[in-house]
Structure 1
Amino acid sequence: MDRRHVTLAEAAAIAGTSLDTIRRRLKKGELQKAQTNQKGIFVDLESLREAFDLPPDAGKDKAPETAEAEAALKSAIKGLQDRLGEMRLAMAQAETKHVAELAGVQGKLDVAAALADARQAEIDRLHGICRASAQQLPSMENLLVEERERHRAALRALQDQMKAEAARAHDQLAALKARPWWRRLAG
């Protein structure tokens, strides 16, 4: 349905100007007032188009076209909202999956850290043993040298004793051989 008159605010919006401009043009007579039985001032739409050099369809009611466009926009918005809901659900599922994976990785890291701590403690213990051994090594070497010298001295004493016994046995054998055979038998 085509309207024949508009309010001052609608006229300003259609013409793309201010209310004061519309009022001035009404006072000058460039715009015609519309005769209505409603309260307020109304502008004749045809005079508005002529005064502002507007296209013939300016100010027409575009309800069927806007309804179709509005329905299309609502449909597009609904589709986008559905898509957004799907994306949010997918993101929530992915986040849940990543949180679970992260918890698994964190558990593995905790186990690895505990193993590393245990190995480090073992390394520290072995290092302490090595350090203590290294500190004791000179005194142990001295003990070994002393022990070796003591054993050498004991071996020399034993060797000397064996030489003395061998010499004595040799002397006894020589003395025994020097006696006649019959004395050797008789004793």
Structure 2
Amino acid sequence: MQDQENQEVPNQPDGQEQVPAQEAAPAAAGEPSLEEQLSATEAKLAETHDAFMRAKAEADNVRRRAQEDVSKAHKFAIEGFAEALLPVKDSLEMALKVEAPTVESIKEGVEMTLKQLNAAFERNKLVEVMPQPGDKLDPNKHQAVAVVPSEQEANTVVNVLQKGYMIADRLLRPAIVTAAQPK
């Protein structure tokens, strides 16, 4: 028997033994084969690709909806302001239709129309910039068109030539002022 164990197998290179077919199977019966691992990985890849494509489509939809919202916001941005100005226009048209206006009726109509306009400005956060004489010159809200000699401190408002306006916190038009000259 010992002679049989020491005999070499004629078809095998030196040092290698013939392995029975049963031992060629995976060592651990619980491990999946390479084909099973490949198919599982391909399934996972397909699932991940599908999730990616869905997420990409959703992102494209969100981007498109946001662009539409911005477009609508630009298109209808002044809608509220325009609605607030319609009564002002109506009042002006009615004033022009009066057959024999008196100075008092014109003045009364203009005052009422100005109230409507001020209310429209207030609802739409359009605020007057009206500095008082002696206020410090603010280059962010005031535009000095002249420097005049004055008894006031230098770089203060002497006279307001035209009101300025702000929308919310943004300057629409600066107040046109004259400023005090340094002594």
Alignment TM-score, normalising by the size of structure 1:
0.35
More helix, by proportion = 1
TM superposition score normalised by structure 2: 0.35
Please say which structure displays the higher CA radius of gyration.
1
The structure whose residues are more often strand, as a share, is 2
